[in-house]
Structure 1
Amino acid sequence: MSIKVRDNVKDKLSMQTKTIAAFIAIVAAVALPQIFHLIGAAIGADTAIGEKYLPMHLPVIFVGLLIGAYTGSLTGLIAPLVSFALTGMPAKSMLPFMMIELFGYGFAAGIIKNIINTEEVGAVKSLVGNTIKVFLVQVSGRALRAIAILFSFHVLGNKAIKPIIITKSISAGVVGIVIQLVAIPIILYVINGRKHE
């Protein structure tokens, strides 16, 4: 694993490619939670299963790390809006905070993608590097969400969402956080390996 800014000319993707990637990621970010909610309803877990596995986060983080900050940010902002418009989820009170959090994931993923190079190293270093990337992205998105909630509560006087939700959502989503740390690095490694074949 090496830390360096990669050649931007080599990494530039067309606007069409970025738009298609954002569209696919938004569809996935809207569809995956619905699939999880259906599974939750079938097994009696209701919507809590979505809070546990964090399915909306996966496409946003993944597309940011794969394509870049523009696509990741766009996906993070739009996916919760589309989901709310079509399904009523997330709840209206949580929507702005979800948008901020997912924007943070997408943006941070795109920035970190260009700083930590894990494409031209061995398997172990690549997986470790990609895991570090995902962890840094998780911290960035959660921190941005926490700042937004604290600002809303203490400065704007919005008492609908209390600061305790910051720690509650982390503890509720531990399984989803671990899945992200395991699955995304493996998928990125496989994709990067195929690119270099």
Structure 2
Amino acid sequence: MKKSSTQRLVLAGLFTAIGIVLPFAFHALSLSGSIFLPMHIPVLLCGLICGWRHGLAAGAVIPLLSSVLTGMPPLYPVAISMAFELSAYGAVIGLASKKVNAFAALVIAMLSGRAVSGIANVLLLSLSGKSYAWSAFLTGAFVTALPGIIIQLILIPLIYAAVQKNKHLERVI
């Protein structure tokens, strides 16, 4: 079933709302966003289900809106860097899913978004006169985030498969 542009827009709005509420819920439960990556899940699902344009838009908006509405993450440099990173996730998974299966698209998007995050952090921190070490990038993007990465690798393909398998669910989601 091909989604109309209205359906995709509504779904992107829903994923955006989830992207703001989910991290807030994690923080309320004292669960670290940098460990569990709750903003990433709705963006990746948005790109996969709604397409690259909506995934890119949701990825750009979620961290900035969250910063303004909840104070998390701090706007500069974290939310701005995350806007670039999450935009890459949403766009890349939407584009890659047209060429490869959802799991491979997810892995490609996760690696691409992390590369964009590293570049954005180098640029943003250099504007502040600070440096961004390779070890800080590797630690933050892969080591600290490992639980979130594992959750994404399990949860996103399962949700996407359920949506694909159950066409009646796709109308709702």
What's the TM-score, normalizing by structure 2?
0.87
1:178: which partner in 2?
A: 150
1:20: which partner in 2?
A: 10
- Tell me the alpha carbon deviations over residues 119-171 of structure 1, each in whole angstroms, 9 at most, x when there is no partner: xxxxxxxxxx4322211110010011112222344xx5433462343212121
**Mapping of 1:99-118 within 5 angstroms?**
99-116=83-100
Cα distance in 1 for partners of 2:98, 2:10 equals 20
2:26: which partner in 1?
A: 36
CA RMSD of aligned residues (A): 2.0
- Tell me the alpha carbon deviations over residues 12-63 of structure 1, each in whole angstroms, 9 at most, x when there is no partner: x3221122111101110000001100111xxxx6xxx211110000000011
1:178 CA displacement = 0.7
Q: Is 2:36 the counterpart of 1:53? A: yes
Residues 144 and 183 (structure 1 numbering): CA distance in 2 closer, same or farther, change over 3 Å? Answer: same
Q: Is the 8 A contact 1:131 1:182 kept in 2?
A: no
* Counterpart amino acid of residue 97 in structure 1: S
2:63: which partner in 1?
A: 80
Cα distance in 1 for partners of 2:122, 2:90 equals 21
Rg larger in structure: 1
What's the TM-score, normalizing by structure 1?
0.77
Structure with the higher fraction of residues in helix conformation: 2
Q: Is the 8 A contact 1:100 1:144 kept in 2?
A: yes
Q: Is 2:54 the counterpart of 1:71? A: yes
Cα distance in 2 for partners of 1:88, 1:23 equals 20
In the alignment of these two chains, the number of paired residues is 166
Q: Identity percentage over the alignment? A: 29
Cα distance in 1 for partners of 2:98, 2:149 equals 22
* Counterpart amino acid of residue 169 in structure 1: G
**Deviating 4+ runs (over 4 angstroms):** none
Gaps of 5+ in 1: 1-9, 117-128
State which drifts further: 16-25 or 98-107: 16-25
Q: Is the 8 A contact 2:122 2:131 kept in 1?
A: no
Cα distance in 1 for partners of 2:107, 2:129 equals 30
**Mapping of 1:88-107 within 5 angstroms?**
88-92=71-75, 93-107=77-91
State which drifts further: 15-24 or 170-179: 15-24
